[in-house]
Amino acid sequence: MPELLIKRLNESDNDIPLPSYATEHAAGMDLRVNQNVEIAPGEILMAPTGIAIEIPEGYEGQVRPRSGLAAKHGITALNSPGTIDADYRGEVKVILINHGKEPVRFERGARIAQLVISKYEKVEIAEADELAETARASGGFGHTGVH
């Protein structure tokens, strides 16, 4: 099993749990905010977590919204899933937006998003004059549901 290294950026955050899986079969780890923040309706917030991570080569971190925050408050993560590359060592921040009608306050240590570590493949890139034909061809968004 690959290892995810996590570094706390502030000693004062030692009381905040590190990202962890809430259940045995959970795909994502909970990410927590490391300071009190409030997000007004329509506002976008870069929520700090106070951690940096070292993802193994060949893997990426995917930051995803928490379904409970979306359902109860209209809070979601923009750029979702946001990708954290294996060579990034800065603070993990979560881009949140409030689609709800009321401000939402997160207390320090609150769970704000999920982090999924996913293996990926790299491909060789080659320029082509022609591409293989398919039944869909250039059909775009909604193409398969329109008749």
Domain count within the chain = 1
Q: Is the pLDDT of residue 147 over 90?
A: no
Q: Is the pLDDT of residue 146 over 90?
A: no
**Two tokens, residue 118:** 């996913």
Contact 63, 94 (CB under 8 A): yes
DSSP characters over 45-105: EEEE-SEEEEPPTTEEEEEE--HHHHHHH-EEESSSSEEE-TT--S--EEEEEE-SSS-EE
For position 53, what pLDDT does the model report? Answer: 98
pLDDT tens column, 15-24: 999 999 999 9
Output the pTM of the full model: 0.88
For position 135, what pLDDT does the model report? Answer: 86
Mapped onto helix, strand or coil, the DSSP state of residue 71 is helix
Identify the residue with better confidence: 137 or 108.
Answer: 108
Q: Is the pLDDT of residue 3 over 60?
A: yes
Q: Which domain holds residue 134?
A: 5-145
CATH number, domain of 113, equals 2.70.40.10
